[in-house]
Every structure is written in structure tokens, then in C-alpha cells.
Amino acid sequence: MKKIATLAAALSLSAMLAGAGIVVAQAPPEEPPLGHPAPRTGQQALRGERHPEMRKAIGMLERTKAVLQEKAASDFGGHKAQAIQLIDQAISQLREGIRSDKE
């Protein structure tokens, strides 16, 4: 339950930044390395090992963290540092979730 709360807090922070006019740039989709199969689409992607939603969430969190570190001028009474720490925890949990998936 704590893991879900951490992820929710980080995603809420991302939404708040977007609402405040801070735009978190999206990276272009990554091309698979040569010799690797093309990414799955539709239901295959949802059931496949690539976990596109989880990876997208990780990317959003990483970009949000970068915005906080580079553009947020103040520490906001320690709240910015706490938010960055929670983002790191959320990213870690998402990566662990991807690694632990046995489907």
C-alpha cells in the first residue's frame, strides 16, 4: 500500500506541475536496437514483457524530477527535496515491478 501511495504522490506532483504551467517535455519514442523485434502494439503490448505503461510512467517521473532539479528555484521548505525523494522511490518501485513480472 505504501508503494502505491508513493507512486500516486509522484504522479500527482507531475500533474500539479503540468497544471502550474510547467511543461515536462516528452522524449521521442525509442527505436529498438538492431536485431531486436519491433515493439508490440495494442493488446500484445499490454500483455507483453515490455510493459509500456510502466515504462511511460518511469519516463514521466524522470522528466518531472529533472524539471524540479533544474527549474524550481526554491526548496519550498524542504518539500521539493521530499518530492524528489518520493519520485526516486516511485521510479525504483516501477522498475522492481517490471523485473518481478513473471508473465
Contacts of 2 (CB under 8 A, 6+ apart): none
Rounded CA separation 1/57 (Å): 18
The structure's pTM equals: 0.54
* Amino acid found at 3: K
Q: Place 28 in a pLDDT band, splitting at 50, 70 and 90.
A: very low
Is the predicted pLDDT of residue 29 greater than 60, yes or no? Answer: no
